[in-house]
Chains A and B, each alone.
Chain A
Amino acid sequence: MNKIGSYLNFHAQALALRSRRNEVLASNIANAATPNFKARDLDFDAEIRHHIGVGPLRTTDDRHLPTTVNPVRDRMLYRDPINPSMDGNTVEMAVEQMEFSENVIRYQTTLSFLNKRINGLMSAIRGE
């Protein structure tokens, strides 16, 4: 990976993961009234470690083929309900809304980190 790419890589991966988690949480909120629906979520911490830890394999010879170990782990977990409901639905609106707003804030934070880095690069390139 080139220098600029690796400079932005962590936050880019985090942003993609936050976006995926938003979709999962939106799915939970969409299914708030569906009997027997089990709320899902992903462990952001474990996923980001996996995404960052496994990159392209280092090559030591020009004839080596550059390969990437599949960086997608995608482990969807089930939410442990605090108060299980009678209809088998494990979506708890308060929990999902809290997780969703936290995830949105963290997405925005990652976005501003990325913006700062891009702006830093831009001013370095312009030499201002």
Chain B
Amino acid sequence: MSDIKNIFDISGRAMASQLVRLNTVASNLANAGTVSGTKEEAFRSLKPVFATKFADSFEKNGVSTVDVVGIERVDRDPVRAHMPNHPSADADGYVYRAAVDENEEMIEMVEASRQYQNNVEVISTLRALMMRTINMGK
């Protein structure tokens, strides 16, 4: 992707990444508690992979932001439950619950929204500074 030019690139792209993270949390929570007939089909939590995106002249100006380089499923087995009356139960009467830890997702959500807010705060502060700088000498 293109080079990081200014503060709006730095914090804007970080906000976009945090939003991807919040979207995965929403998907995971939406699928928490769903069951399926086979172990393979059962839902597993999605996690975004963050990686630092350095500016072209990072060693000189220290500017970097963050990009989502991929979304991975956690390597965690779904919980098997014996529910013979469930319509999607397998031949032995078992269903598989989605491998989503709700507590973990809630913590993830709070952390992502906090870090999103921090980036918003940085942008609004620096935007106010820019406005004051433009009005210099008036």
A residues with a Cβ closer than 8 A to B are 15, 20, 22-27, 29-35, 37, 40-42, 72, 74, 76, 93, 97, 100, 104, 107-108, 111, 114-115, 118-119, 122
Contact = CB atoms under 8 A, between A and B. Distances in A.
Contacts, number: 96
A33 B62 contact: no
A119 B137 CA distance: 6
5 contacts: A27-B64, A29-B119, A31-B65, A35-B50, A76-B62
Contact of A26 (B21, B51, B126, B132): B126
Given A33-B66, A33-B112, 8 more contacts: A26-B122, A29-B115, A33-B111, A76-B60, A76-B62, A108-B129, A111-B132, A114-B136
A32 B66 CA distance: 9
Interface residues of B, number: 32
B7 A26 contact: yes
B109 interface: no
Interface string B1-28: 0000011001101100010010000000
B103 interface: no
A9 to B, nearest CB: 15
What are the 9 tightest A-B residue pairs by CB atom distance, in nearest-first order? A30-B14, A118-B137, A24-B62, A76-B62, A40-B62, A34-B50, A27-B64, A74-B60, A26-B10
Contact of A104 (B59, B64, B66, B125): B125
B118 A33 contact: no
B126 A20 contact: no
Interface of B: 6-7, 10-11, 13-14, 18, 21, 50-52, 59-66, 111-112, 115, 118-119, 122, 125-126, 129, 132-133, 136-137
Nearest to A119: B137
A79 to B, nearest CB: 11
